[in-house]
Every structure is written in structure tokens, then in C-alpha cells.
């Protein structure tokens, strides 16, 4: 998974430079979805047009990941920073364009087995 995480770090860095910074960019593995990761993001630009933002993020993911690696990704979720669950994950650790691992948390009512925070910053 480390190689895939590095690829997501590259995606986050590229999108931060070209579109604007993220408040949250995280890969989360749910207890009920073995080997399927969710990409959770939050940024002002992504919230402004969720459909176009998901399309753009997916396009960048397709550029970076192999077909086999794409199978590990379950979904892309864009969160509004006003969402209460948003602050719950940000309280775990603060990191910007880096990497922090988390585990055993509840997020959006889902048990998270493992996760990687690439960017998680409080404003």
C-alpha cells in the first residue's frame, strides 16, 4: 500500500497547486469493506462543484494508478468543512502535504480500520 499512498500524495500535491489547497485529503479503509479504500477530500473548490471535482480527481487518479491499483478504490467523497464529521477526523492529527496513519476511529458512522491522512488541517 505504501507505493499507492505515495501516488495519492502526488495527486494531492498536484491538485493543491493547480486548483487550491485541501483541508482534508485522506484514504480510509472501512471495517466492512476489506481492501476497498475511500478517498475523502474537502476543499472550497471541490465543494463549489462536486460533480466536476469528482471527475477531475478521478481523472488524476487514473493517470497515477495502474488498473490493478484502481480496484482498491471504492469511492471519492467530498465533504463540506461545515459537516460535523469533518472536524472529528481533523482532530486525529494535523498534517499538510505529508502522511499520518490513523486507525480504530468512527467516521460518518462507519468503523475505520485504517487510514492515511495526507492533508488534514484545521483552519
- pLDDT tens string, the chain, 123 residues long: the values are 688 999 999 999 999 999 999 999 999 998 888 889 999 999 999 999 999 999 999 999 999 999 999 999 999 999 887 765 655 666 666 677 788 888 777 776 777 888 899 998 865
In CATH, what number is assigned to the domain containing residue 97? 3.30.300
Give the Cα separation of 103 and 16 in Å (integer): 25
Question: Which residue range(s) make up the domain with 64?
Answer: 2-120
Specify the pLDDT at position 35. 85
User: Quick one: pLDDT at residue 49?
Assistant: 94
Using a 10 angstrom Cβ sphere, with 0-12 exposed, 13-18 middle and 19 or more buried, the burial of residue 52 is: exposed
Per-residue pLDDT at 121: 81
- Cell reading at 81: 468543512
Would you say the pTM of this structure is higher than 0.85? Answer: yes
d(CA 57, CA 11): 8
Q: What total number of domains does the chain contain?
A: 1
Cell of 99: 502522511
Amino acid at each position: 500500500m505504501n507505493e499507492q499512498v505515495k501516488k495519492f500524495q502526488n495527486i494531492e500535491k498536484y491538485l493543491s497547486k493547480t486548483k487550491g489547497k485541501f483541508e482534508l485529503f485522506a484514504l480510509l479503509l472501512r471495517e466492512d469493506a476489506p481492501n476497498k479504500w475511500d478517498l475523502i477530500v474537502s476543499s472550497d473548490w471541490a465543494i463549489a462543484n462536486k460533480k466536476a471535482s469528482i471527475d477531475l480527481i478521478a481523472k488524476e487518479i487514473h493517470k497515477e494508478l495502474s488498473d490493478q491499483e484502481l480496484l482498491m478504490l471504492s469511492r471519492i467523497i467530498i465533504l463540506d468543512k461545515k459537516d460535523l464529521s469533518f472536524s472529528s477526523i481533523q482532530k486525529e492529527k494535523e498534517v499538510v502535504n505529508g502522511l499520518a496513519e490513523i486507525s480504530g476511529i468512527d467516521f460518518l458512522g462507519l468503523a475505520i480500520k485504517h487510514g492515511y491522512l495526507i492533508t488534514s488541517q484545521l483552519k
